[in-house]
Amino acid sequence: MKVRTLILGAGAAGLMCAAHAGPDTLVVDHARAPGEKIRISGGGRCNFTNLYTEPDRFLGENPHFHKSALARYTQWDFIDLVDRHSIAWHEKTLGQLFCDGKATQIVAMLLAEAEKAGARLWLGAEIGAVGHADGRFTCRITREGKPVDVVADNLVLATGGKSIPKMGASGLAYDLARQFGLSLTQTRPALVPFTFDAGRFAELSGTAVQARVGNDRHSFDEAMLFTHRGLSGPAVLQISSYWREGEDVVVDLLPGADAAQDLRAARQKVGRRAVTTALAQHLPARLVSHIAGQIDLTGNLADLSDARIDTIAESLHRWHLRPTGTEGYRTAEVTLGGIDTNGLDSRTMMAHHLRGLYAIGEAVDVTGWLGGYNFQWAWSSGVAAGRAIAGA
Ligand SMILES: Cc1cc2nc3c(=O)[nH]c(=O)nc-3n(C[C@H](O)[C@H](O)[C@H](O)COP(=O)(O)OP(=O)(O)OC[C@H]3O[C@@H](n4cnc5c(N)ncnc54)[C@H](O)[C@@H]3O)c2cc1C
């Protein structure tokens, strides 16, 4: 069977590419339903883009690579598409846009767009050997138990990253990229909770605080959640992309405040108040008890010397924590790293050295912050490849 374009992966990027790649496109996926990560994303409401999408909110070895695609298909273009499909949405926080209804509306929209473009979709299909000969790609696909050899002018790698293997994530895009001579950068789980020694935060499990979590590279002011296994919540997921094993993260439990100054003022005004009571006005009581296990919070405010106030303030503003690791690909929202962008054209996503080979979406070494940025990369890179194929 001969097609013009074969897209491997019917996820966010693959479907978006299919909607733009022109006629005679076949999209193949081993899952029984397309866009499964879209369906479960954003708690079932899909955080489909971010109003503040800017290149500096993406990580990758080449910090410039993603600029072109993001500029040529922006968050406003995607919002326009969503509006044209009459999908109601709202901004939740920090520019994050979610469906008012269900994430499946976004999947349905992408399927409608791909169908309008004439693309065919094979689900539950196993991708076997892939090759390249005489300027064409060949792919053995097993569909409904029967092998089909597909020959294509263009091959798009859109099978995503390694996060959540239970949902069908595989390393296929990386294996094929390597097979066709593209390099890979190191991959690791990102946007992922931190783990700590057993029971480290067990007594705090379920407690959330607004915190600034950071290191020398970045810091994020968002919610932080204590869990049975460690730390989670948006601020922690964000910094996980900038963290490496063996490093500390520094937590500011009172971002924007000056704890030393505030404690001195309180000592003056309400000196007979217990230190723990004073702190519990700004932090959850359970957290104050936990901190009291690490530093001396006994006595009243009036008992505090300036030096003790400085020690307490330092502990609240610069709480050094060293995770033992992360929850890994089991729960990571994305994979950091991937197909080395040095081998790809930033305007078209096509491999420099092999005409007709494209890589898009999470498989590529471009990773966004939490908050709709990763879908925007899937849309932008999918459109870049699709338009290039359609115009080629
Ligand atoms: C729980 C969760 C919530 C998320 N929420 C958000 C959010 O709200 N906003 C946001 O911006 N990002 C979110 N993300 C990240 C986002 O889902 C991904 O960045 C995005 O889906 C990547 O798109 P993609 O098309 O590259 O890969 P995917 O969407 O993962 O699509 C890849 C497709 O390839 C198929 N495939 C994989 N291996 C094979 C194989 N061997 N053979 C055949 N088919 C294969 C898969 O079945 C899948 O359909 C979330 C991720 C997770 C895990």
- In degrees, to the nearest 5, what angle opens at C-alpha 57 toward C-alphas 51 and 58? 125
> Measuring from atom 5 of ligand 1, which residue has the nearest CA?
41
**Pocket around ligand 1: residues whose beta carbon is below 6 Å from it?**
9-14, 29-31, 36-37, 40-42, 46-47, 127, 158-160, 163-164, 168-170, 172, 333-334, 361-363, 372-375, 378
| Model pLDDT, residue 228 | 94
* Ligand 1 atom closest to residue 173's alpha carbon, by position in its atom list: 38
For the CA of 98, the nearest atom of ligand 1 = 8
For the stretch 272-321, pLDDT in tens is 999 999 999 999 999 999 999 999 999 999 999 999 999 999 999 999 99
| pLDDT tens, position by position, 187-201 | 999 999 999 998 899
Query: Rounded to whole angstroms, how far apart are CA atoms 316 and 288?
Result: 10
What is the rounded CA–CA span in Å between residue 380 and residue 374? 10
pTM tops 0.95? yes
Residue ranges of the chain with pLDDT lower than 50?
A: none
The reported pLDDT for the residue numbered 136 is 98
d(CA 162, ligand 1 centre) in Å: 9
Q: 45 Cβ partners below 8 Å, 6+ apart?
A: 98, 99, 100, 101, 102, 103
The pLDDT of residue 198: 85
Counting Cα atoms < 13 Å in the Cβ hemisphere of 207 gives: 18
